[in-house]
Amino acid sequence: MISGARGKIRSFFGTGGKLRSFIGDISEAIKGSDKDFTEVKLSKAIILLSIPMVLEMVMESVFAVVDIWFVSKLGADAVATVGITESVNTIVYAIGAGLGLATTSLIARRTGQKRPEEASKIAFQAILVAAAVSVAIGIPGAIFASDILRLMGASDNIVTNLSGYTAIMLGSNIVIMLLFIINAVFRSSGDAAVAMKVLWIGNFINIVLDPCLIFGWGPFPEMGIKGAAIATTIGRGLAVIYQLVILFRGKKRIKLAARHLVVDFRIMKKLISISVGGIGQNLIATTSWIGLVRIISIFGSEVVAGYTIAIRIVLFVLLPSWGVSNASSTLVGQNLGAKKPERAEKAVWFTGRVNVVLLGLIGLILIAFPDFFIRLFIDDPAVIAYGASGLRIISYGFAAYGLGMVMVSSFNGAGDTTTPVKINFVAFWVIEIPLAYFLAISLNLEETGVFTAIVISETLMTLFAWLLFRRGKWKLNEV
């Protein structure tokens, strides 16, 4: 038995062993791979897709945390402004994510069917739809920014003096929307490393510009919280330009040419049809966060600030897990396109186990040391106390969140965006919001009741998704 174990260790670490192969897979994943993910060994396919997607999400997480770290130096009202604006901007994220889900489903399926020309046509139509929607949101968002903040329960100081941040973020939402959609094109076709590099570039620019424009470093003007919005817009805008250059002049799986630059209402209709479910499930989920912020705002700016910082930290650790889930979604779509449903199911279970272990371990750390992480952003004792309480409670549900992400992504990858709508509606609007209000207001648990409601509803969402996934109807979906 001991000799057998030694043999396995030598096999893994020895010359030509599994360690060398694993390191090679990581290197290939970061550089970009041209492998056929419907044919290559499943464990290798998951590594090649998930590693760049995880690193992409890590950079997005770093951006979210660094951004709020700089803004926190401006005080609790500034942090609360970012939190309220983000809660409203989740509508933009929801629509972008919904369109991204439809784009992923269609392009992954066409990639699995070996139909790259059709995939390229879908990519351009997705860009057109995203641009049109973002303009419709951006114009009224910029004009009525103050009214939106007032409606969300913001203080008079925020509404009067800090609404410029909200106006810029809502008005420039086209860069967020296109970043979502074009990266979905890259990921679903199998070029996950490109999406990773795009986000790295955009967020690096934002991180560099943030302190310069907020505090007036060097030759830059001191713009306060507006500077944070401008830095974000410039970083993401340059990332979108880079995406378009790759699409039109690169040599990746999806390449746009003049023949693709036409309006195809047939493809648009299919995109919109699938994305309605994707948008619906995301709107249900994200508007529930708006509802939570509205309840929490009753207890003051310090509570909202603590909640905002805690959620940013939660996003920091959840977004890499979304990267793993996105890998699962791409594999489901491509393998269903290649008529390999059993392989698609194996990919889901494998990535689900990885996510449960990953988030379970991270959750234990956050439960043990929540104060430490909140103090990295602010030194206000009240904000630290509220933020640490929220971070600890929410972290109890991390292991369940990990599995739930993968289950929901599997439905979306198959083109079944309706099932997650039902799951999200029950979990977030039938359970979470009423429960949060009942615990916080009726039982007088205040913000603790809201945090507890989050854990309960997210855990139940995972249970619902697991039960429906095991029924297997998603394997029969056609797109």
pLDDT in the model for residue 12: 44
The span from the CA of 137 to the CA of 99, in Å, is 15
Q: Is 38 helix (H, G, I), strand (E, B) or coil?
A: coil
Instruction: Confirm whether 16 is domain-assigned.
Output: no
For residue 58, pLDDT beyond 50: yes
Q: What is the pLDDT of residue 218?
A: 87
Q: What's the pLDDT at 1? A: 47
pLDDT value at position 49?
85
CB neighbours (10 Å) of residue 219?
Answer: 6
Q: CA 72 to CA 380: how far, in whole Å? A: 10
pLDDT of residue 61: 67
Is the predicted pLDDT of residue 190 greater than 50, yes or no? Answer: yes
With respect to residue 95, please indicate whether it lies within any of the assigned structural domains: yes
Whether residue 27 is contained in a domain is answered as: no
In the chain, how many domains are there?
Answer: 1
| pLDDT for position 2 | 45
Question: pLDDT, tens digit, for every residue of 109-156?
Answer: 999 999 999 999 999 999 999 999 999 999 999 999 999 999 888 888
Q: How far apart are CA 209 and CA 283, in angstroms?
A: 31
pLDDT digits (tens, 9 = 90+) for 366-403: 999 999 999 988 888 999 999 999 999 999 999 999 99
Cα 13 to Cα 3, 8, 42, 44, distances in angstroms: 15, 9, 22, 18
Amino acid 131: pLDDT: 94
What's the confidence (pLDDT) of residue 16? Answer: 56
Please give the pLDDT value at position 168: 95
Mean pLDDT value across the chain: 87
Q: Is 393 contained in some domain?
A: yes
Domain that holds residue 270: 35-476
pLDDT, mean of residues 318-323:
79
Residue 247 lies in a domain: yes
pTM of the prediction?
0.78
Structure confidence by residue, pLDDT tens digits, 433-474: 999 999 999 999 988 999 999 999 999 999 999 999 988 888
Please say whether the dihedral angle defined by the alpha carbons of residues 29, 59, 372 and 303, taken in this order, is positive or negative: negative
Q: Is residue 9 part of a domain?
A: no
**Is the predicted pLDDT of residue 11 greater than 60, yes or no?**
no
For the cut 80, the answer to whether the pLDDT of residue 66 exceeds it is no
Q: Would you say residue 57 lies in a domain? A: yes
Question: Model confidence at 267, in pLDDT bands (50, 70, 90)?
Answer: very high
SS3 percent helix, strand, coil of the chain, rounded to 5, is: 85, 0, 15
**Tokens read off for 40:** 């290559």
For residues 18 and 11, the answer to whether their CB atoms sit within 8 Å is yes
If you average pLDDT over residues 167-176, what whole number do you get?
Answer: 93
Could you tell me the CA-to-CA distances from 300 to 8, 18, 82, 303, 389 in Å, in that order?
Answer: 58, 55, 15, 6, 16
pLDDT higher at 65 or 301: 301
Confidence bin at 5 (pLDDT 50/70/90): very low
User: What's the confidence (pLDDT) of residue 9?
Assistant: 45
- pLDDT of 124: 95
In a domain, 12, yes or no: no
What is the sign, positive or negative, of the torsion defined by CA atoms of 88, 89, 90, 91?
positive
Q: Which residues of 144-162 are buried (b: 16+ CB within 10 A; e: fewer)?
A: bbbebbbebbbbeebbeeb
Binning pLDDT at 50, 70 and 90, where does residue 252 land? confident
Share of the chain above pLDDT 90, in %: 47
Residue 295 makes CB contacts below 8 A (sequence gap 6+) with 436, 437, 440, 441, 450
